[in-house]
Chain A
Amino acid sequence: MRPDEVTNMAHGNAAAGHGDHHRPPKGVMRWLTTTNHKDIGTMYLVFSLAMFLIGGVMALLIRAELFQPGLQLVDPGFYNQLTTVHALVMVFGAVMPATVGLANWMIPLQIGAADMALPRMNLFSFWLLFFAFVLLISTFFVPGGAPAAGWTLYPPLVLQTGNAFPMAIFAIHLMGASSIMGAINVIVTIVNMRAPGMTLLKMPLFSWSWLITAYLLIAVMPVFAGGVTMLLTDYYFHTSFFNAAGGGDPVLFQHVFWFFGHPEVYIMILPAFGIVSEIIPTFSRKPIFGYEAMVYAIASIAFLSFIVWAHHMFTVGMPLAGQLFFTLSTMLIAVPTGVKVFNWTTTMWRGSLSFEPPMLFALAFLFLFTIGGFSGLMLAIVPADFQYHDTYFVVAHFHYVLVPGAVFGIMAAVYYWLPKWTGHMYDMNIAKWHFWLTAIFVNVLFFPQHFLGLAGMQRRIPDYPTQFTDWNMVSSIGGFGFGLSQLLFVWLIIRCVKGGQRATAGVWDWPHGLEWTVPSPAPYHTFEKSPELH
């Protein structure tokens, strides 16, 4: 909602006292049967946090092994399982479900709808995700161990997977079904259930970013599912899609994977863009600069994300025209991304800034995500990429866009909306400690990986030549610092759920948008009658 157009909105309509109808059942049945968007949003968020911790433990094992050259803790096969499953867990279990949880909680509140449009399907998509991860993580305990060919699952290497092979593929099918259902739900909700007067171009930017993300999901999840299905039939049913001996081509898999994979990285970052676009105006006490440009920028990024995939495949070999095209289309994404970065900056220009935890995370996002964007630009240059590809430089790049990018965006959102969810203010001191420790350690963790990569250290290996020792040690120390700091986050959330100073409806000094018109905590049902917008 553009704040200049707001607000009032249907005071009290959402207040408690709507009688007892639809009170949730008590105990575990509540979570097994609920169709309420807030309950489901909570489940997604808690699930995501759990996966963040599980994936984090894997990352720490990796960093512990890399602390010194030589093989100390884990054997190389298990190391590869760790890197593979770490990535799958973080991408599909931590980042994506967190943004889906936020969508569930906030989209209905932001557009003045009573719930998501398809509540039962909503619950279905959550539980599918849960079982997908039961299946995926159980692969650690089957003969042959978990998948170890990297999250990109390239054949023919991936065909060496043991009994985990079909399990991982079916887990991906379940995740895909879950994501598609979630995406359909978001689209149907936004298209059909906006409150009267909430035109598309008045919609808050977080909802906008999710509308576009949902289209990306629907477009690419089937591609990924198709790709892994072809792997499955190649392995068990004698098809030849990726088998050169039968006229197929293993490179085809890379095309299919990255046609999914590049839009996938934007599926993870666009909601974070939306979050930052909500937070920066609030704490600058100014409407977002260039609202419509922000919408068009997201849309153009989404479109461009479909035509850049082969920048992951420069070293596979392609004609000069292909190299030029994919370099230029990739660099083109920097234009709408630049529009966003400049608009966020301009929003703060002459604003009256304050630095509450959500704003701190949003600002860190702004700086650190941009570093990731710059290293991306370097990688888009073909001759340079020949050097960087499959080194720690790439690892540094995508961790900068994903951790201080997507993950900081999610943390900013949690700090922004937690009082609305729980009805309590959280402990600002712990939050600030959490922020500063996280922001410092994330750089100690990932910045040295740029140097390692430039010096030629390969990714996905448990051992390395001794000249890489120093920066690996620094990076590992950063990793453990980062990981331990997250315990503060967990503790803060638990304390905030349990109690704390009561939060007002507006929570922040300059709230804008429908979600701040309902009391905190948001009642079980909100906007049973559409709010009036003025």
Chain B
Amino acid sequence: MAQDKQTGQYYFPHGSRLPFFGSASLFVLMAGAAATLNGASIGVWVLGVGFLLLCALFFFWFGEVIRENQAGALFYARQLSVPWLGGDGAKAVTGLLWPDFEASWPSNGPGALSPRDNGSYEIIPAFGLPAINTALLLTSGLTITIAHHAMKMGNRGMLKIFLALTFLLGFTFLGVQAHEYGEAYREHGLQLGTGIYGSTFFMLTGFHGLHVTVGAIMLVVIWLRCMKGHFTPHQHFAFEAVAWYWHFVDVVWLGLCRGSASSWQALHRDRRQYRRGQDRADAIPVPALRHQAVLRAKRPESLPRGLLR
């Protein structure tokens, strides 16, 4: 929906089959995923079909938006500022409401699931590959800003180069990430099933990686559109939207780094406390004690796999 500034008339998009098609393909995808998880053999096929349908949806949907845009329909968006919450203030609240709350990772997870016999694992050090990856992402934030300036100056050559650089950096980031996962799995004994630390680590970085993938694909699409001569120095909202998204995955990564750094500290503090732990137990109020006791319970030698499926 957009309004023509001159006539005050609104532009109505015509009816579209895509939303229904998209919902149906998501349904196929989800039903396939559920069937796969339930162990049905056709599940993967349904999942695959759903995935292809979804890809087709994106292709058609964005194709349509691009065509409308090229035909002159003007979509506009006012920028909304999002007030960010959180940060260290949250800790004060935790201190008051759950004074004995400790971030702790005392367990390596059920022995049965752990790749090593003694269930031990090392965490990924914050320097080394993760630092390189941080540098890669930050640089890509820079290159996309340069590309944006080039766009505004009408310097198409520079625009194309720096945009390409941006998604190349993005894909490199993903490659490094994959390599790091491999190392974690094979050499550090750190896996998705390695207790709460592994769970948190892989879920956070994994979902982030997913977003980087999506963002990089979007950058490629924008780059292809630049190659075809789309956008003008004044009209390039799609570019801007993708740039916002890219900065967003950047910022999230920094949050993740900070988070994993502090959990790294917690882990080390915790290993010390874990040893001293038991004699502090009577200082903890009863309800809290109940949780702590669960948390601090010794890892059972082996846990029946069925419990976790």
Query: What residues make up the interface of A, taking CB atoms closer than 8 Å to B?
Result: 22, 24-25, 30, 32-36, 113-121, 123-124, 126-128, 130-131, 134-135, 142, 159, 163, 165-167, 170-171, 173-174, 177, 187-188, 191-193, 230, 232-241, 243-249, 251, 310, 316-322, 325, 525, 528-530
Pick the contact of A244: B33, B203, B295 (CB < 8 A).
B295
Pick the contact of A317: B9, B20, B287 (CB < 8 A).
B287
Cβ < 8 Å to A, chain B residues 71-112: 76-78, 80, 96-100, 104-110
Pick the contact of B98: A30, A234, A319 (CB < 8 A).
A319
Contact between B297 and A244, CB atoms less than 8 A apart: yes
Contact between A166 and B34, CB atoms less than 8 A apart: yes
- Contacts A120-B16, A124-B19, A322-B98 given; indicate if A115 touches B300 (C-beta within 8 A): no
Pick the contact of A247: B1, B104, B286 (CB < 8 A).
B104
Q: Indicate whether B56 reaches chain A with its CB closer than 8 angstroms.
A: no
Contact between B203 and A240, CB atoms less than 8 A apart: no
Binding site secondary structure of chain A: helix
B140–chain A nearest beta-carbon distance, Å: 25
Q: Indicate whether B197 reaches chain A with its CB closer than 8 angstroms.
A: yes
Interface centre among A142, A177, A244, A529 (most CB of B within 10 A): A244
7 shortest interchain CB distances as A-B pairs? A317-B287, A238-B193, A127-B23, A239-B199, A124-B19, A33-B15, A247-B196
Interface centre among A121, A124, A240, A322 (most CB of B within 10 A): A240
Query: What are 6 A-B interface contacts by the 8 Å CB criterion?
Result: A33-B16, A35-B13, A165-B37, A238-B109, A239-B192, A246-B193
A191–chain B nearest beta-carbon distance, Å: 6
Contact between A530 and B196, CB atoms less than 8 A apart: no
Contact between B291 and A120, CB atoms less than 8 A apart: no
- Contacts A134-B27, A163-B38, A247-B105 given; indicate if A241 touches B17 (C-beta within 8 A): no
- Over the window 107-119 of chain B, the binary record of Cβ atoms lying under 8 Å from chain A Cβ atoms (1 yes, 0 no) is 1111001000000
Contact between B14 and A35, CB atoms less than 8 A apart: yes
Q: Indicate whether B288 reaches chain A with its CB closer than 8 angstroms.
A: yes
Task: Give the chain B neighbours of A245 by CB distance below 8 A.
Answer: 107, 109-110, 299-300, 303, 307
Give the nearest-CB partner of B27 in chain A: A131
Contact between A249 and B38, CB atoms less than 8 A apart: no
- Contacts A173-B30, A191-B80, A247-B104 given; indicate if A119 touches B287 (C-beta within 8 A): no
- Contacts A33-B16, A135-B31, A235-B309 given; indicate if A247 touches B291 (C-beta within 8 A): no
Contact between A246 and B12, CB atoms less than 8 A apart: no
Q: Indicate whether B128 reaches chain A with its CB closer than 8 angstroms.
A: no
Interface centre among B19, B106, B299 (most CB of A within 10 A): B19
Contact between B288 and A319, CB atoms less than 8 A apart: yes
Task: Give the chain B neighbours of A530 by CB distance below 8 A.
Answer: 3, 8
Q: Indicate whether B153 reaches chain A with its CB closer than 8 angstroms.
A: no
Task: Give the chain B neighbours of A247 by CB distance below 8 A.
Answer: 104-109, 195-197, 295
Pick the contact of B193: A123, A128, A167, A239 (CB < 8 A).
A239
Pick the contact of A249: B22, B294, B308 (CB < 8 A).
B294
Interface centre among A135, A166, A193 (most CB of B within 10 A): A166
* Whole-angstrom CA separation of A383 from B109 in the bound complex: 37
Task: Give the chain A neighbours of B230 by CB distance below 8 A.
Answer: none
Extra A-B contacts (5), CB below 8 Å, given A113-B1, A247-B106? A135-B31, A171-B30, A241-B196, A317-B287, A319-B98
Q: Indicate whether B158 reaches chain A with its CB closer than 8 angstroms.
A: no
Contact between B96 and A115, CB atoms less than 8 A apart: no
Contact between B308 and A234, CB atoms less than 8 A apart: yes
Q: Indicate whether B26 reaches chain A with its CB closer than 8 angstroms.
A: yes
- Contacts A118-B1, A238-B192 given; indicate if A166 touches B17 (C-beta within 8 A): no
* Whole-angstrom CA separation of A117 from B13 in the bound complex: 11
Task: Give the chain A neighbours of B203 by CB distance below 8 A.
Answer: 230, 233, 239
Task: Give the chain B neighbours of A170 by CB distance below 8 A.
Answer: 30-31, 33-34
Task: Give the chain A neighbours of B15 by CB distance below 8 A.
Answer: 24-25, 30, 33-36
Task: Give the chain A neighbours of B196 by CB distance below 8 A.
Answer: 240-241, 246-248
- Contacts A35-B14, A120-B18 given; indicate if A321 touches B38 (C-beta within 8 A): no
Task: Give the chain B neighbours of A310 by CB distance below 8 A.
Answer: 97
Contact between A33 and B17, CB atoms less than 8 A apart: yes
Cβ < 8 Å to A, chain B residues 1-60: 1, 3, 8-10, 12-20, 22-24, 26-27, 30-31, 33-34, 37-38
* Whole-angstrom CA separation of A127 from B8 in the bound complex: 31
Task: Give the chain B neighbours of A319 by CB distance below 8 A.
Answer: 97-100, 285, 287-288
Contact between B287 and A318, CB atoms less than 8 A apart: yes
* Whole-angstrom CA separation of A339 from B96 in the bound complex: 30
Give the nearest-CB partner of B289 in chain A: A317
* Whole-angstrom CA separation of A193 from B75 in the bound complex: 12
Q: Indicate whether B268 reaches chain A with its CB closer than 8 angstroms.
A: no
Task: Give the chain B neighbours of A167 by CB distance below 8 A.
Answer: 30-31, 34
Contact between B97 and A325, CB atoms less than 8 A apart: yes
Task: Give the chain B neighbours of A241 by CB distance below 8 A.
Answer: 196, 199-200
Give the nearest-CB partner of B39 in chain A: A163
- Contacts A238-B308, A317-B287 given; indicate if A119 touches B1 (C-beta within 8 A): yes
Q: Indicate whether B67 reaches chain A with its CB closer than 8 angstroms.
A: no
* Whole-angstrom CA separation of A325 from B285 in the bound complex: 17
* Whole-angstrom CA separation of A332 from B8 in the bound complex: 46
Contact between A249 and B291, CB atoms less than 8 A apart: yes
* Whole-angstrom CA separation of A35 from B80 in the bound complex: 25
Task: Give the chain A neighbours of B80 by CB distance below 8 A.
Answer: 187, 191
Q: Indicate whether B149 reaches chain A with its CB closer than 8 angstroms.
A: no
Q: Indicate whether B290 reaches chain A with its CB closer than 8 angstroms.
A: yes
Contact between A115 and B1, CB atoms less than 8 A apart: yes
* Whole-angstrom CA separation of A34 from B84 in the bound complex: 37
A249–chain B nearest beta-carbon distance, Å: 6
* Whole-angstrom CA separation of A166 from B10 in the bound complex: 43
* Whole-angstrom CA separation of A528 from B197 in the bound complex: 56
* Whole-angstrom CA separation of A529 from B113 in the bound complex: 64
Cβ < 8 Å to A, chain B residues 247-306: 285-288, 290-291, 294-295, 297, 299-300, 303
B88–chain A nearest beta-carbon distance, Å: 18
Contact between B106 and A32, CB atoms less than 8 A apart: no
* Whole-angstrom CA separation of A193 from B193 in the bound complex: 49
B14–chain A nearest beta-carbon distance, Å: 7
Task: Give the chain A neighbours of B76 by CB distance below 8 A.
Answer: 192
Task: Give the chain B neighbours of A193 by CB distance below 8 A.
Answer: 1, 3
A403–chain B nearest beta-carbon distance, Å: 30
Task: Give the chain A neighbours of B19 by CB distance below 8 A.
Answer: 120-121, 123-124, 126-127
Give the nearest-CB partner of B37 in chain A: A166
Contact between B286 and A244, CB atoms less than 8 A apart: no
Give the nearest-CB partner of A243 in chain B: B308
Pick the contact of B192: A126, A127, A192, A237 (CB < 8 A).
A237
- Contacts A35-B15, A35-B16, A135-B27 given; indicate if A317 touches B195 (C-beta within 8 A): no
Give the nearest-CB partner of A34 in chain B: B15
